[in-house]
């Protein structure tokens, strides 16, 4: 993971603009502290801040084709780069061992069709000197961050991994849509990722009485086996690394499953038992990571938090080298301003959860680790948030899961990417693998994601993925962890964290100021003092109206009767729910 910055069609005085571009790119050097690169071609400039994970010695960017006619700057990882090289029909001279260089030659041979072949997380800009055109693209669900801006004075178009590179120069800024590409030849942004399950299908989900007639232990076993195999393959391919890596371990189901699968893989590497079914990319991942045989796990919480205790239990069970860190409420409060500056949002739930993740990432990077596996995405896929208990039907639940996945780039993906990359730490998210999503989002699985509803009457959220890994003969996790109730990260680090945030905001925002909030913030007016406090901090760093368009606030479904507070404890299904 790295930082990219590019401006196309800027003014003619490139001698003056180049140092300005370098200074703007430097604003995201925290994303790529290992090296910096700049390419100028005509009135276009492309910059890169590198975090070296694969091709460490030779992968400096921007990358160029053999004749220098193509210039590429990438933020991300292409997990199937070994296989992609075999798709090339012509002979190409690769300059690096980077997983990203293959994009140049795929473009050369197949143009924009290359995007359907990429398996990974990525944002990139590619300039074609011969055609004087450029493209920009973002991965399928926005695991990596990308912003696009426009400056009216010279009609230039800007791209960057973070908004802070654009906020002072651009008249309009948007979050570049996931699963899309921009083509300068026609000025259009086009969707390339459009899986069948995006269609919000009305068919494919049988009525409860119809499904009851189809109940079959054999069908359930097949479903669980397919989920298990798909997730294990997703974790395996994400072990592609030439640097030390670890796992984020909150002690919840999602991160614990990822840690368990990764640990099993480490044991397979030690015994040399690579499966015959594994493809070349997975075999490459094995060989590149084998120099680091000890798997380290990391967690954080307030002293005595639920997550710290659960994480230690999982780590002991798995045998990871575990590091459980604590922070104080005061340390968290002191970091809020920095967190908002890195996140570039004022969304309440994102800031609540990002602050401990931001503090943890600093600890991890200080230990020499540059990449971690994380569990983002599972709650959106499997209806894990407690407000899903209130879904009126399998159809409604399925549609809500799709919508949440399509908007992950505004919340959990943004949090995971920017909280970690603030310290030059890369987070990889196996649950958001394209192939895994195609399995887990099958419409016929929707009824399995309901709680206390016929015909299955599952008693706990995410039953489907819990049952898939409930293998008593060879357990992946302790049973009390596998069946532990969903605990949102901002709650699990310690219940007093959110309580103290609310109290602190109450003391910082006067009743008079809050009463006049619509005058102070006429656009997207904050509904609570906590939200008001975050908005104040955001606008100190990003004061222009152009900085608001990319921010999305998330609240649970009020039309399902859910509390507007995004905390899991605000939902009636939580065992420690707030008193109503």
Q: Which residues are catalytic?
A: 2
The pair of structure tokens assigned to 448 is 């399995």
Residue 491 marked as a ligand binder: no
Q: CA-to-CA distance for 437 and 431, rounded, in angstroms? A: 7
DSSP codes joined into one string, 353-392: HHHHHHHHHHHHHHTT--EEE--TTHHHHTT-SGGGGG-S
How far is residue 241 CA from its own chain's centroid? 18
State whether residue 33 is helix, strand or coil.
strand
- Helix, strand or coil, per DSSP, at residue 377: coil
How far is it, in rounded angstroms, from Cα 133 to Cα 185?
A: 6
Which token pair is 299? 């967690």
Q: Which two tokens stand for residue 319?
A: 């045998």
How far is 427 from 241, CA to CA, in rounded Å?
A: 12
Burial class (CB in 10 A: 0-12, 13-18, 19+), 26: middle
Nearest to 505 by CA among 525, 535, 464: 535
Rg (CA), the chain: 23
Going through 310-443 in order, the beta strands assigned E by DSSP cover 321-326, 371-373, 426-428
The reply, when asked if residue 55 is annotated as ligand binding, is: no
For residue 72, give the H/E element and its range. strand 70-78
| Strands 296-301 and 245-248, sheet pairing | parallel
Distances (CA, A) of 198 to 285, 387, 394, 404, 443: 30, 22, 16, 11, 10
Running DSSP on this structure, what letter comes out for residue 203?
Answer: S
- Give CA–CA dist 575/484, Å, rounded: 11
Residue 99, marked binder:
yes
Number of other residues whose CB lies within 10 A of the CB of residue 564:
12
Check residue 100 and report its DSSP letter: S
Interatomic CA distance for residues 238 and 229, integer angstroms: 15
Question: Tokens 């920095």 label which residue?
Answer: 338
Determine the 3-state secondary structure of 505 from DSSP. Answer: helix
Residue ranges for the known binding site for ATP are 248, 300, 374-375
Residue ranges for the known binding site for L-glutamine are 99
């Amino acid at each position: 993971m790295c930082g990219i910055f590019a401006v196309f069609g800027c003014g003619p005085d490139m001698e003056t603009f180049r140092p300005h571009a370098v200074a703007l790119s430097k604003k995201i050097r925290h994303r790529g502290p290992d090296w910096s690169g700049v390419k100028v071609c005509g009135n276009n400039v492309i910059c890169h801040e590198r975090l070296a994970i694969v091709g460490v010695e030779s992968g400096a960017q921007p990358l160029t084709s053999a004749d220098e006619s193509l210039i590429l700057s990438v933020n991300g990882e292409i997990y199937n780069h070994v296989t992609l090289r075999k798709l090339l029909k012509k002979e190409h001279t690769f300059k690096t061992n980077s997983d990203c260089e293959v994009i140049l030659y795929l473009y050369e041979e197949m143009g924009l069709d290359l995007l359907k072949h990429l398996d990974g997380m990525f944002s990139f800009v590619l300039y074609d000197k011969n055609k004087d055109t450029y493209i920009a693209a973002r991965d399928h669900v926005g695991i990596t961050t990308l912003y696009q801006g426009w400056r009216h004075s010279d009609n230039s178009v800007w791209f960057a991994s973070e908004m802070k590179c654009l906020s002072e120069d651009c008249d309009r800024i948007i979050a570049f849509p996931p699963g899309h590409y921009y083509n300068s030849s026609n000025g259009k942004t086009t969707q390339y990722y459009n899986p069948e399950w995006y269609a919000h299908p009305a068919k494919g989900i049988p009525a409860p009485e119809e499904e009851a007639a189809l109940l079959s232990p054999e069908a359930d076993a097949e479903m669980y086996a397919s989920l298990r195999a798909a997730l294990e393959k997703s974790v395996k391919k994400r072990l592609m690394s030439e640097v030390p890596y670890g796992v984020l371990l909150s002690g919840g189901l999602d991160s614990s499953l990822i840690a368990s699968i990764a640990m099993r893989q480490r044991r397979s590497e030690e015994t040399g038992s690579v499966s015959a079914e594994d493809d070349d990319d997975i075999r490459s991942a094995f060989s590149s990571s084998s120099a680091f045989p000890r798997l380290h796990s990391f967690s954080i919480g307030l002293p005595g938090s639920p997550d710290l205790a659960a994480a230690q239990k999982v780590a002991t069970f798995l045998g990871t080298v575990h590091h459980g860190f604590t922070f104080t409420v005061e340390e968290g409060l002191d970091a809020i301003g920095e967190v908002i500056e890195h996140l570039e949002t004022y969304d309440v739930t994102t800031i609540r959860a990002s602050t401990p993740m931001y503090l943890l990432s600093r600890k991890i990077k200080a230990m020499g680790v540059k990449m971690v596996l994380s569990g983002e995405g599972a709650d959106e896929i499997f209806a894990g948030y407690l407000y899903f208990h209130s879904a009126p039907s399998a159809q409604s639940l399925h549609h809500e899961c799709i919508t949440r996945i399509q908007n992950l780039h505004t919340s959990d993906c943004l949090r995971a990417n920017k909280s970690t990359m603030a310290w030059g730490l890369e987070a990889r998210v196996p649950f958001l693998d394209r192939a895994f999503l195609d399995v887990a989002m099958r419409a016929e699985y929707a009824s399995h994601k309901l709680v206390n509803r016929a015909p299955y009457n599952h008693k706990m959220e995410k039953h489907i993925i819990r049952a898939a890994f409930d293998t008593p003969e060879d357990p992946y996790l302790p049973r009390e962890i596998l069946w532990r109730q969903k605990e949102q990260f901002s709650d699990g680090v310690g219940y007093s964290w959110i309580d103290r945030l609310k109290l602190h905001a109450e003391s910082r925002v006067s009743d008079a100021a809050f009463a006049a909030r619509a005058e102070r913030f006429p656009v997207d007016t904050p509904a609570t003092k906590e939200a008001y406090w975050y908005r104040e901090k955001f606008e100190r760093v990003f004061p222009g109206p152009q900085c608001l368009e990319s921010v999305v606030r998330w609240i649970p479904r009020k039309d399902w009767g859910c509390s507007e507070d995004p905390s899991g404890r605000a939902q009636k299904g939580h065992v420690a729910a707030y008193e109503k």
